[in-house]
Amino acid sequence: MGVDIKMKGKKVKSEGISVDLTGISDLLGLMKESWSGLYLHSANVANLTLRICTFLRLNQVEQKNVIAGAFFHDVGKMFVRREIVEKPGMLTDEEWAELKEHPRRGASIVAERGEDNSLVEMIRYHHERWDGKGYEGLKGQQIPLYARVIALADALDAMTSRRPYRQPFVMYEALEELYRCAGFQFDPELVSALTEEPFWQITTYRDPGRLEEQINEEKKWLAQLVDSYTLSHPVVYAQSQWLDRLLVIFCKFKGYAAGRG
């Protein structure tokens, strides 16, 4: 996984990625049927992860593996009591201990099906922290790079989505939190590199002119995904939902401006 983050940052078109999930596709189907919210979260994380993979200029084989990791990062939650995951209040120590087992459970399930060890590691270590205070205590470069990528995508989608215990962050608030946690929770070099892209810049979501430019870029990204996948693919759906979110924010900007006029 020798990707030099400092050498990346040149925007390139994503290649068509047909992720081979033959051995574990039934798990994705089960997730879709039994827990649509978890399925959509996984699709959102896969979409954000694909953005990062494209930014880092990973080759097609690497992208396939990382996107698979993003889709299945939370598969272990299907084997945690739903009332714990969706509990609106504080978790008890026992409930928290059960929830923290989901990366290990997911990794074990995927490993038992004979999947690649790098995929297993992405699932197992996506809740590790740069400072070593994550679920299993891995620190800094000990954490596999692609697990660090998925952790970032996972956190961004979690913050910008409604949860039983809180309202969603607006995008610039979520990015502020990502930057604040760089070097503690997240890989600081990865976060720093991503800030070269307007998608990851706070001002993009606070300035209506820049937001309008970003919306046009999001439409292009959606078109690329449609070319690479099918209209019914979960990543395409995730991107269309993300575009809708930005359009709502932009309309609020326009409405505020009209009200002041």
**The predicted structure's pLDDT at residue 27:** 85
CATH number of domain containing 213: 4.10.280
Q: What angle do CA 54, 108, 142 make, to 5 degrees?
A: 55
- Evaluate whether residue 9 is within a structural domain: no
Residue 22 has pLDDT above 60, yes or no: no
What is the count of structural domains for the chain? 2
CA distance 221 to 14: 9
**The predicted structure's pLDDT at residue 232:** 87
> CB of 169 within 8 A of CB of 177?
yes
Please state, as a whole number, how many other Cβ atoms lie within 10 Å of the Cβ of residue 128.
24
Instruction: Tell me, yes or no, whether 95 and 125 share the same domain.
Output: yes
Instruction: Tell me, yes or no, whether 247 and 185 share the same domain.
Output: no
Instruction: Tell me, yes or no, whether 107 and 229 share the same domain.
Output: no
Instruction: Tell me, yes or no, whether 233 and 140 share the same domain.
Output: no
CATH number of domain containing 64: 1.10.3210.10
Instruction: Tell me, yes or no, whether 152 and 194 share the same domain.
Output: yes
**The predicted structure's pLDDT at residue 13:** 42
Which of 164, 186, 204 delimits the end of a domain? Answer: 204
**The predicted structure's pLDDT at residue 28:** 85
pLDDT in tens, 144-185: 999 999 999 999 999 999 887 788 899 999 999 999 999 999
Percent of the chain scoring above 90 in pLDDT: 73
Residue 260 has pLDDT above 60, yes or no: no
> CB of 159 within 8 A of CB of 174?
yes
**The predicted structure's pLDDT at residue 1:** 44
Instruction: Tell me, yes or no, whether 231 and 166 share the same domain.
Output: no
For residue 191, which amino acid is it? Answer: V
Structure tokens that stand for 1 in this block: 């996984």
What is the pLDDT averaged over residues 222-245? 92
Instruction: Tell me, yes or no, whether 241 and 164 share the same domain.
Output: no
Radius of gyration of the chain, Cα coordinates, nearest whole angstrom: 18
- Evaluate whether residue 14 is within a structural domain: no
Banded model confidence at residue 4, pLDDT cuts 50, 70, 90: low
> 9: which residues sit within 8 A by CB, 6+ positions away?
55, 193, 196, 197
**The predicted structure's pLDDT at residue 37:** 92
- Evaluate whether residue 12 is within a structural domain: no
Helix, coil or strand: residue 87: coil
Mean pLDDT of the chain: 88
Question: 223 lies in which domain range?
Answer: 207-261
Structure tokens that stand for 34 in this block: 């039994």
Which of 204, 228, 253 delimits the end of a domain? Answer: 204
CA distance 65 to 149: 12
- Evaluate whether residue 15 is within a structural domain: no
- Evaluate whether residue 133 is within a structural domain: yes
Strand-pairing partners, residue 166, are 163
Instruction: Tell me, yes or no, whether 73 and 139 share the same domain.
Output: yes
Which of 185, 204, 223 delimits the end of a domain? Answer: 204
Residue 74 has pLDDT above 90, yes or no: yes
Residue 14 has pLDDT above 50, yes or no: no
- Evaluate whether residue 6 is within a structural domain: no
Instruction: Tell me, yes or no, whether 221 and 155 share the same domain.
Output: no
Banded model confidence at residue 106, pLDDT cuts 50, 70, 90: very high
Instruction: Tell me, yes or no, whether 242 and 171 share the same domain.
Output: no
> 3-state SS string over the chain?
CCCCHHHCCCCCCCCCCCCCCCCCHHHHHHHHHHCHHHHHHHHHHHHHHHHHHHHCCCCHHHHHHHHHHHHHCCHHHHHCCHHHHCCCCCCCHHHHHHHCCHHHHHHHHHHHCCCCHHHHHHHHCCCCCCCCCCCCCCCHHHCCHHHHHHHHHHHHHHHCCCECCECCCCHHHHHHHHHHHECCCECHHHHHHHCCCHHHCHHHHCCHHHHHHHHHHHHHHHHHHHHHCCCCCHHHHHHHHHHHHHHHHHHHHHHHHHHHC
